Every structure is written in C-alpha cells, then in structure tokens.
Amino acid sequence: MSGLWLGSWLRVLDLRLFLDLFLALGLGVVVLGRVRDSRTLWLLRGYLLLVGLAWAVQRFANLPLTARLLDALVLACSLALAILWQGELRRFMELLGTGRLGMVFGDGGADALKSGSVAVLSEAAGRLSQARRGALIVVDHGSDLRPEDFLNPGISLDAQLSVDLLLNLFAADTPLHDGAVLVKGNRILAAGVILPLSRQGINRYGTRHLAALGLTERFNRCLAIVVSEETGTLSLACHGRLERPITSSRLHDLLSQALARPGGRSVAKDTPEPRG
C-alpha cells in the first residue's frame, strides 16, 4: 500500500516538474521572440541562462553555498535589467493594466500601414521639409495606440489620409500645428496630439525630436516622422532611435520596410543635428 502511494506521489512530482519546465520554456520563447535588438537579446539570453543554472543547482545539487551565490547574482542582474529596461517594463505593466494581452503575446493589430499611405507620407514630409515647416507624424503600424497613451490625445479626426490634409494640419497659422498627427492604416485618427518626451539627448534635440523618441521608446510598433522647423531636416524615429538627415526617398524606403516587416528594426543610429 505504501509503495503504491509513493509511486503515485512520484508521478505527481514528475508531472509538476514537466509542467514547470514547459511553462518556463514557453515563457522564455515568448519573451525572446519579442526582442528585436541584438544586444538586448544577448543580455536576456545570459540572464535566462543564469536563472536556469540557479534553478538546476537548487533543484538537483546539494550545493547550498553555490545556490546562495547564484541567487544573489540573479537578484543583482534582475535589478540591473529593471533599470536598463524600465521603459519596456513600464510598457508591459501598462498593457497588462489596460487588458491588452494581445499586444503582449501577439503582433499587434491587423490594420497596419497601408502601401498607398507610404507614398502620401513621403510626399507630404518632403514638401514640409522643403518649406521648413515643423511637423511630427506618428505612424501606428501595430501598437494599437489609445488616448491614454498620450499626454493629450488631441482632436479626433478619423479622416482619409492625404497630402493636402497633412499640409493644412501643419500650417503655421493653424491651432494644431504644434502637436503630432496620428496615422493608422490610411486614416488620420487625430491631430494636435501631445506626446511624452524622452529623457535622452535633452541638450541635443528639440521638442519634436524628444517627443518622437519618447513615444517610440515605449511602443516598438510605431514610427515618428519629424521635420525640423529651423532647418527643414527630415528624420525618422523608431525604437527610441533617430535616422537623420534623410531624404523623402529614403523615408519612402524605410516606411516600405516597416510595411513589409511590421515591428522590425529599420532605423539606424542617429547623428547630431541642430535643435528643431
């Protein structure tokens, strides 16, 4: 009788161990699959390997001192990563708090950037750059941006995307020209949107560039087109980085890459530029 009870208990333990390993492996795959930056991926792989080693030593080896040292090292690395990835962690908690679990485990909304919108955005940005008219256009291609994601959601438009409408929205004598325009698919959803500012490069960039960096740091499936009011320089922000200066044809290529590979990194490191 006792042998039968012991066998049943061992089977339960094996099932729990298998379930634990399966869930941990699945969570690791999901997390690794969401990381696009190679350096971040290396850090995360090292951290997960360290966690796995600490678990294995604690579970299967009678090495109490080694287990304590590994636990302390995992804790120290966890605190370091929490500081390095505070923006990503904040975004993760925001998604959980708002119930957008599909954005945590999925690829975002299906209504991504439309192919016809690329030409419209490139032409409008090029004409704004030539006229040295400051502009900030946020392109949502899967981040499912909502009013609570902005400091001020601006004025709802839900209008057909067109070059003329973008030029009118960023005319100097209009009340909405200082804010951002939100574009999704082939629609302009809102204008006069106030974005959160980035803390990086405060002494190097103007308000529009800081706003573009601040939003793309938090949302990895959106782009921000910036036109400097002082120099007319055209820039594109993605994943908290700027590519600049660029031409309208280069902007067209970058937007086309985002259309072909939603969520992928397509913007290189930034270079210095006057404030604008």
Q: What is the pLDDT of residues 70-88, one digit of tens each?
A: 889 989 988 888 877 766 6
Domain with 92 in it: 2-105
What pLDDT, on a 0 to 100 scale, did the predictor assign at position 134?
92
240 shares a domain with 123 = yes
Flag whether 265 is in a domain. no
What pLDDT, on a 0 to 100 scale, did the predictor assign at position 274?
45
252 shares a domain with 151 = yes
252 shares a domain with 135 = yes
Flag whether 269 is in a domain. no
At residue 61 the predicted structure's pLDDT band, cuts being 50, 70 and 90, is confident
- Is the pTM higher than 0.75? The answer reads no
Flag whether 128 is in a domain. yes
CATH at residue 178: 3.40.1700.10
181 shares a domain with 86 = no
Where is the domain boundary, 105, 124, 153? 105
Flag whether 234 is in a domain. yes
75 shares a domain with 195 = no
Flag whether 85 is in a domain. yes
Flag whether 9 is in a domain. yes
158 shares a domain with 28 = no
Q: What is the pLDDT of residues 110-160, one digit of tens each?
A: 445 666 889 999 999 999 999 999 999 999 887 778 888 888 999 999 899
217 shares a domain with 137 = yes
Structural domain total, the chain: 2
Q: What is the pLDDT of residues 182-200, one digit of tens each?
A: 998 889 999 999 998 887 7
Q: What is the pLDDT of residues 23-42, one digit of tens each?
A: 878 777 777 666 655 667 78
- Residues 171, 242: Cα–Cα separation, whole Å: 24
149 shares a domain with 61 = no
246 shares a domain with 221 = yes
143 shares a domain with 91 = no
With a pLDDT cut of 90, the percent of the chain lying above it is 26
Flag whether 166 is in a domain. yes
256 shares a domain with 125 = yes
Flag whether 136 is in a domain. yes
134 shares a domain with 69 = no
At residue 45 the predicted structure's pLDDT band, cuts being 50, 70 and 90, is confident
